[in-house]
């Protein structure tokens, strides 16, 4: 994983382009630029691991270009549960829940990611309160969509969840 500056990115990561993704939709240009300037932009190659099971969950990543696969781990078993595409986020749940990573994240192709730490998330709240509300709504909407997909998979596979 290589760290790059926003102005060094070989892909279009302008606010206009990023607003096409679900996480950045409806954010102000200045809010998006703030996150790009203060976050950490990672260039990753195909097959490269971004984070691993048990790692600190003190940040989340948004896909600026490319796509990633998430492999959920439970006990000794690991299964790919989803692909994270342009404009989507991964790791937000671990950060908000204050727990370790629950799986491994790998790049499917050469990708560009923005890592937003819990500190930057807090600073964004203070410096861009309106945009923070929109970002939180966008992240929540993506979580809800993921929950729906996973719960549909439970029904389609006749999985009984015991209390």
What are the tens digits of pLDDT across the range 32-56? 999 999 999 999 999 999 999 999 9
- Whether 115 is covered by a domain: the verdict is yes
Our count of domains for the chain comes to 1
- Whether 128 is covered by a domain: the verdict is yes
- Whether 162 is covered by a domain: the verdict is no
**Domain interval for residue 125:** 2-151
DSSP H helices in the chain = 15-18, 29-38, 92-97, 118-127, 129-156
CATH number of the domain where residue 106 is located? 2.60.120.10
DSSP state of 28: -
What are the tens digits of pLDDT across the range 86-113? 999 999 999 999 999 999 999 999 999 9
pTM beyond 0.85: the answer is yes
Q: What are phi and psi of 36, to 5 degrees?
A: -65, -40
Please return the burial class of 10, using the count of CB atoms within 10 Å of its CB with bins 0-12, 13-18 and 19+: exposed
- Whether 156 is covered by a domain: the verdict is no
């Amino acid at each position: 994983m290589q760290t790059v500056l926003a102005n060094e990115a070989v892909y279009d990561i302008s606010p206009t382009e990023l607003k096409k993704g679900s996480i950045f939709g409806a954010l102000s240009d200045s809010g998006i630029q703030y996150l790009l300037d203060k976050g950490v932009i990672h260039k990753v190659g195909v097959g490269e691991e971004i984070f691993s099971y048990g790692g600190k969950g003190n940040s989340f990543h948004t896909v600026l270009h490319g796509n990633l696969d998430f492999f959920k781990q439970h006990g000794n078993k690991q299964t790919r549960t989803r692909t994270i595409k342009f404009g989507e986020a991964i790791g937000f749940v671990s950060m908000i829940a204050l727990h370790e990573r629950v799986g491994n994240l790998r790049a499917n192709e050469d990708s560009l990611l923005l890592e937003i730490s819990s500190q930057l998330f807090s600073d964004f709240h203070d410096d861009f309160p309106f945009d923070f509300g929109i970002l939180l709504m966008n992240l929540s909407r993506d979580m809800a969509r993921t929950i729906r997909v996973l719960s549909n998979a439970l029904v389609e596979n006749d999985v009984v969840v015991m209390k």
